[in-house]
Structure 1
């Protein structure tokens, strides 16, 4: 299929091999289902008049199987400037993920010239000046996610410690739809622990248990850059943190709590 998912009924999706992750041939990479969740939140928030997704937190309870899944979203609280949402992703009769999100109402508030930190920093290197790379080399099985996205390395070397990598979706998230800027961020943001890996994939697993994305403005363009690093405590736990950029500069950050295990 030329998309990560096909919507077979409202809120019900069939995952394609383009969602397959690097850890197990039957499991999805967590980026595409996080983007599906993002899509559901965007739609719920738009109905309440909120256009900006300020935060998305996805608690990953189980691996998402490649097959049918369902997304449910609920309105928790809707105020004048912000709305709070929650929901879950379900597959094979089990909860795969639970999520919460914050959506905000946008209003033009120009930032005074000379304000410290403005304009925001740029990515280490524009995507046009960054050499192409592939994520497929880290997996021993067909790694569909590596075909779902294309990559360019702006700084460092992928899978060898801190690095900055551009992501662009080469296929739609849902068949027949153009991915939103927020969905593009969600697909990419779950890869911070992968591109900044300093432990060998052949000897260790460092799977994330959650994903939190914070954005202070709407992303623009098709390319999203992660400037990522992974930290390990020696206690089987870790943290991956990524600064997020679009072509105009920094847009926010993403964090992932890691479970680190020897293979």
Structure 2
């Protein structure tokens, strides 16, 4: 195993995904967390100093392969106060497999907001839980330290878990607060899985994250619940905390189909 999620490529914007990015369904496709953080890195490179990301959206257009990738980014809407920045991720054939957009807003310390609520528990209050035996573990699942306060990925229902990524995004680079949140946030649908993971696919097609402030410290908490519709659509939602209090919220639109139909892919 490599010591980071990605290795720098030979040309600007090129990276190579390591096996650490592989998700629970297969060793050939990435979990959504590392690509979300990778696109956030590209976005942050274009965000002016003194600004912070208030909303980040990711659309997954297909499985993100474990292998060479090309990252591009651009300012979609410049502004004196706020800006909209976009980024895209393409595979080795040039096919775009993911797109992201982020609103950057002023970073100030004199806003009108009251004290934010605390999670009510700490990472030390959690416990280790084994993922389903049929899941691919030798990748993303082992790249994060998990401390479960309520629920477990192997038991359907809402869940609360503290997460600590153990790897940098790229070798020699520390995770930014936004990148740390995004490595974890895509896991909300698994944290709150409402179905038997061996019988059903619940694949997220997108991720939307709203942030009221940058995260602090190494630990991120997801307090997550999944709501299922009568058809093939579900929504996973979570509240994000760090050890100092509320950070934001996530939403994911899920494709919910039996395994025989979904075949672990989009």
* TM-score (norm. length: structure 2): 0.91
1:177 aligns with 2:168: no
Which of the residues 11, 21, 29 maps onto 2:31? 29
Task: Give CA-to-partner distance per residue, 1:100-125, whole Å, 9 cap, x none.
Answer: 111112122154xxx7xx32221141
**Worse-superposed segment, 122-131 or 247-256:** 122-131
SS in 1 for 2:189: helix
How big is the alpha-carbon RMSD for the aligned residues of Structure 1 and Structure 2? 1.5
Residues 84 and 102, structure 2, Cα contact 8 Å, conserved in 1: yes
Residue 188 in structure 1 maps to residue 184 in structure 2? yes
Runs of 4+ in 1 over 6 A off after TM superposition: none
SS at match of 1:183: helix
The residue that corresponds to 2:49 in the other structure is 49
Q: Provide structure 2 residue ranges, at least 5 long, that are not aligned to the other structure.
A: 260-266
The aligned counterpart of 2:21 is: 19
Cα distance, 1:79 vs structure 2: 1.5
1-structure distance, mates of 2:90, 2:130: 30
**What's 2:107 paired with?**
106
Q: Which residue of 1 aligns with 2:12?
A: 10
- The 3 A distance-change label for structure 1 pair 29 and 138 is farther
Q: How many residues are paired up? A: 255
Find the counterpart in structure 2 of residue 197 from structure 1: 193
TM-score by length of 1: 0.92
Match of 1:65 in 2: 65
Q: Do the aligned residues in 2 keep the contact of 1:159 with 1:196 (CA within 8 Å)?
A: no
Q: 1:224 aligns with which of 220, 223, 226?
A: 220
Pair 110,50 (structure 1): closer, same or farther in 2 beyond 3 Å: closer
Contact persistence 2:32–2:186 (CA under 8 A): yes
Matched residues in 2 for 1:223 and 1:27: separation?
Answer: 25
**Equivalent runs, 1:55-204 vs 2, <5 Å:** 55-92=55-92, 93-111=94-112, 118-135=114-131, 137=132, 139-160=134-155, 161-204=157-200
Query: Is the 2:130–2:154 contact (alpha carbons within 8 Å) kept by the matching residues of 1?
Result: no
Identify the residue that residue 254 of structure 1 maps to in structure 2: 250
Shift of 1:36: 0.1
SS at match of 2:45: helix
Secondary structure of the 2:136 match is coil
Q: Following the alignment from structure 1 to structure 2, what is the Cα–Cα distance between the partners of residues 149 and 11? A: 25
Q: How has the CA–CA distance of structure 1 residues 206 and 141 changed in structure 2, closer, same or farther, with 3 Å as cutoff?
A: same
SS at match of 2:202: strand
Measured in 1, the distance between the counterparts of 2:193 and 2:13 equals 34
Whether contact under 8 Å (1:214, 1:252) holds in the other structure is yes
